[in-house]
Amino acid sequence: MEAVKTQDIGVNDLPWKIEYHAERCTMCGSCVAGCSFKAIKVEVQKQSLTVSEGSQPEPKHTHIARPIIKQVASLTDFCRGCGMCEKICPNNAIRPVRNADTRKTLLSKDNGPIKRGGRTNLNAQRTLDSIVVGRISQMTDPSLDAARHTFDIRAPFGRVLPAKDLPFEIKDGKLVQKTKTPPVDWIYPLIFSDMSIGALSTRAWEAVALAVGYLNEKCGLPVRMSSGEGGMPVKLLESDYLKYFIIQIASGHFGWNRIIKAMPHMVTDPAGILIKIGQGAKPGDGGLLPSAKVAEHVQAIRGVPKATLASPPNHQGLYSIEESVQKMHLSMNAAFGFRVPVGIKCAASATSVSVYNNLLRDPYKICGGFFIDGIQGGTGAANEVSLDHTGHPVVSKIRDCYLAAVKQGLQGQIPLYGGGGIGMTGNAAADAFKLMCLGANGVFVGKVLIQLLGCVGNEQGRCNSCNTGKCPMGICTQDPRLVKRLDIDKGAQKIVDYVLAFDSELKKLMAPIGNSSLPIGRSDALVSTDKAVADQLGIQYVC
């Protein structure tokens, strides 16, 4: 037998170790068949036993070969801690256990930077958690009845003109509109963030889309969903449900050939266009869809061969804010006859206020929304160093942009939407309420949706293997065997139930401060237990 080298990988070098109880195992094979990462295998173990079979003690030394489940010691086929083996084992004989002695991050860079999906593992501490609702109306201002009062929970998507800029005049004693006004839609302040067909499995994308349709048609909540980069199915583009979808165009322009060809056949306009400049989870890194997830239907929608699809880190030909306004916004507005709001999405950064100020001064008045994505946003695939070490928290940038608009008297003209870690603790309504009080018109969420579908990934390094195409829950994969694990109807129902709870919780937060409409800019309703946070955001410090 060859001697073990000190550089050889052992189980104790991996982030998760398999705890296996052979005495409980019936060797049904469920765990091995269910592990999409091939992190466990069946092996035969030689055991030496001393037995006595007679009526008198007659010890005999014998050897037997016993099949066991063994963990694979590999930096490619390693356990991600998803717990699928534990979930399907009928005898509780196996489970993953976090390994504090892991050396994987150090050892797994032989083939370049580590890639993974999920969210940042190093920036889990959130500003929002140190902020609470402190202005609770008692004797000074009457609070509202959250169960009986009528609340106006709608946010604008589109350029909102001030009264002095409205193109109206009195002619023959009648109010006449001289020119068209920018399109404005009043939507629910919770947008389902951009997750493309390709990043998600067909079933996962269908479940989210089904939830959007149900919330609009049956629940009366005008929730909107962004398509993500990569296009949409032609049948959906040519259906009446397109009105619930915000079509995204990113730097790769994937899928836009099909969108352009479908435009003459569209029976309704989309809910909007979103130009993605950057994403908070990987700013400056562009987009990435690994070849393992470029299935046949993805190839057809995007018009590409089976290969790793990388979007450039910026839109080619756009090297200034002014060019973006003139070229992208103008062309996208013109494409749909100036009937569709066009927004822009950027990663939160030190220059977010500069971008917002330029958009506010846009002479064409065609920017319909500014979407700011923070470092704690998720992604399907990125370099780990980008996920953990680049980006900017979203809270202060939302506040800075809002206050910059207030100083110019332009607040509310270009709606602000914030994202990146919204709902990370499970309660997106509280996060949304706090961001609105700081100046946002609404929020966009992505990771919380796939968690409702069954995703077990978290900020402590569990799973987060969206980039591998081996998602054990059938959410971020195109493998037909794995995709079948996802129940579309149950997933859609989970999302619908969550949004209905979100709506109820948002009212329960609006009622105590006496607001029957969204509390945009109501920073007086918030207090912070962190002095630095209170000073930075301009809210009251309490202890």
Binding site listing for [4Fe-4S] cluster: 25, 28, 31, 35, 79, 82, 85, 89
- Using the structure block, give the residue that is written with the tokens 């005898």: 91
CB 345 within 8 A of CB 354: no
Percent helix, strand, coil in the chain, to 5, is: 30, 20, 50
Q: Is the dihedral of CA 192, 196, 199, 200 positive or negative?
A: positive
- Using the structure block, give the residue that is written with the tokens 């919770």: 190
- Using the structure block, give the residue that is written with the tokens 């149900």: 214
Report the 10 Å Cβ neighbour count for 516: 14
CB 464 within 8 A of CB 116: yes
- For 123, counting Cβ atoms within 10 Å of its Cβ (0-12 exposed, 13-18 middle, 19+ buried), the class is middle
Closest CA to 94 of 39, 13, 14, 37: 39
In whole angstroms, give the CA distance from residue 243 to residue 224: 9
**Which residues does residue 445 pair with via DSSP β-bridges, in sequence order?**
192
Count H helices, E strands: the chain? 17, 23
In whole angstroms, give the CA distance from residue 126 to residue 145: 30
90 in the Ramachandran plot: left (φ > 0), alpha (ψ -120 to 50) or beta?
alpha
Contacts (Cβ under 8 Å, ≥6 apart) of 401? 352, 353, 356, 370, 372, 416, 439
Residues making up the annotated binding site are 25, 28, 31, 35, 79, 82, 85, 89
> CA angle 350-355-360, nearest 5°?
140
Which tokens is 463 given? 């799973």
In whole angstroms, give the CA distance from residue 155 to residue 461: 35
DSSP element (H, E) containing 70: strand 60-71
